Amino acid sequence: MQGIDSGSVSPPEKAAGAARPGSPASGAKAPSLRLYNLLAKLPGPRNFAVRIFMFSFVGTQLPLFALLLYILVNVELTAEVLTTFSIVLVAALLGSVSTVIALLAYSEPVGVLSRAMQNYSTDDYEPNLPENYNDEIGELMANTQGALKKLHSMIHSMHELSIRDELTGLYNRRFFVEQAEQLLSRAHRYGEPLTLIFIDMDNFKQVNDRFSHAVGDQTLRKVAELMSDTARGSDLTARIGGDEFVIVFPNTPIGRAKHLCERLRLTLENYDWAPLLGGRMVPTMSIGVAEAQKDDTVEMLIDRADANLHKAKLDGRNQVIE
């Protein structure tokens, strides 16, 4: 069989963190936040709104209430004094209530941002922050939303590149083995059947020799497309090297798997290859099939399927052997 294709991708032309013209340098010093650092060291509740109210109450409302208490204790309480006292007290209480409402309103986006960042960092949960406010905190939410969406898209794209075969778009060998181990473990745990097939194109070197490697690559891409179209949603399909492919059929006994293999083999054989290969050649595939046993590992299953594939090659190719 041919050598293993790791499915690695080419390194990006520019580093992801490279600074653009006009943007801050990546190594710029972070703001010192001296006042915030000072207040953060003081004892008190962790809640942002409560801490601000506590400091504003101590700084503005507490002196006013102390003055009212002084008047209540030391001044003769005439009708005029009581009226003035009542007006000032009501005004102070209304000021405190309005301060609490304002603080809760302006700290609400901070809490939403904090939870969104925590959910994203721990669960990779893409946030859905509002983007229709035009003050500074609204801009912060909108900018955070945009930045996290871009980051999420970049991470998703990088992940796809790391698990996909560059030529065919099927899964690569490394990701296939990881997922196959999980599927096999589940099959063992729940007593479900699982079948693995090993596929090798027949005399594929002739395609490269007669038509060029570029045509060979196009042929492999079309084979991968036909495999993807034929496979079920639960099947795990990968290219593991050259013109070699593997498919895991979860919760599928070997008889059902052989039927799926025949359908795939005939799909490939009956496809109209004339536009690509000029009608001078029809690619075919040999397939080895192996059903998981009690103590199997993924590598043991691949080895048995590979041995059956070798038998299919010796017996004349373009067939399915179990």
What CA–CA distance (Å, rounded) separates 247 from 257? Answer: 10
What CA–CA distance (Å, rounded) separates 218 from 204? Answer: 12
Of the residues 5, 202, 243, 296, only one is catalytic, namely 243
Sort 321 into a burial class: Cβ within 10 Å, 0-12 / 13-18 / 19+. buried
- 138 has which bridge partners? none
| 285 torsion bin: left (phi>0), alpha (psi -120 to 50), beta (else) | beta
Cβ-count burial 30-52 (b if 16+ within 10 Å, e if not) = eeeeeeeeeeeeeeeeeebbebb
Q: What is the dihedral of CA 267, 269, 274, 275, to 10 degrees?
A: 30
- The distance from CA 21 to its chain's CA centroid, rounded to whole angstroms, is 30
Nearest to 92 by CA among 54, 63, 55: 63
Respond yes or no: is residue 243 known to be catalytic: yes
- 3 state SS of 307: helix
- Residues acting as catalytic residues: 243
